[in-house]
Amino acid sequence: MAKNIPIVENILNANDHLAQENRARIDSAGVFSINIMASPGAGKTSLIEQTLSRLKDKLRIATVDGDIATSIDSDRAAAAGALASVQINTGGDCHLDAVMLRGALDQLTLSQFDLLIVENVGNLVCPASFKLGTHKSVLIASIPEGDDKPYKYPGMYRGVDVLIINKIDLLPYVNFRMDYFERGVEALNPGVTTFPLSCRTGEGMDAWVDWLIQNVQPT
């Protein structure tokens, strides 16, 4: 009799087990960690740069930057003030997974840092399925992407801890219905922590940075 093997389920279970090991490793070093996800061009690297410029004198920050090719994002993070920046080139994979992050952690002395920022590959589908072991998952939505993204990519919006709405400075120029967008988000992820901001103008960045500080240094 033929036997069906649930390959996808097995892969995800193995990934989740490794993610738990990554979390234990991060926890033992006393580091707070976030996984930033978004579509290409939404502003992941810009957010990291602006975050580093505000926190590099207050926190010891390391970054792990995932991309299909090049070290552009890692170089930008290092230039912005990351004490260490590790680039992961996936060679075509559309997401980071726990194995890739484990390899990056091997290149860091975690106890030397307060905050670990992981920049995932630009994609609104695959990254939602692969846990890394970070404490919080952060999704960046940008105004030019349109207001229908929660409805088209529910898996991504349902699973995140924090939502950043970037490029709000473009609201006067883009047909983006904020009320429609927010209804979609609320239906999938009620009460999700949300930060409307603009990496270009700096509007709203203080609230985001304060949230990070509170999680790194809880009172």
Rounded CA-CA distance 1/185 in Å is: 46
Q: What is the pLDDT of residue 2?
A: 47
Record the pTM: 0.93
Q: What is the pLDDT of residue 70?
A: 84
- State the DSSP code for 70: -
* 71 contact partners, CB below 8 Å, separation of at least 6: 65, 87, 89
Give me the tens of pLDDT residue by residue for the chain, a chain 219 residues long: 444 445 456 778 899 999 999 999 999 999 999 999 999 999 999 999 999 999 999 999 999 999 988 889 999 999 999 999 999 998 878 899 999 999 999 999 999 999 999 999 999 999 999 999 999 999 999 999 999 999 999 999 999 999 999 999 999 999 999 999 999 999 999 999 999 999 999 999 999 999 999 999 875
Angle between helices 44-55 and 72-80 (to 10 degrees): 20
Rounded CA-CA distance 213/58 in Å is: 9
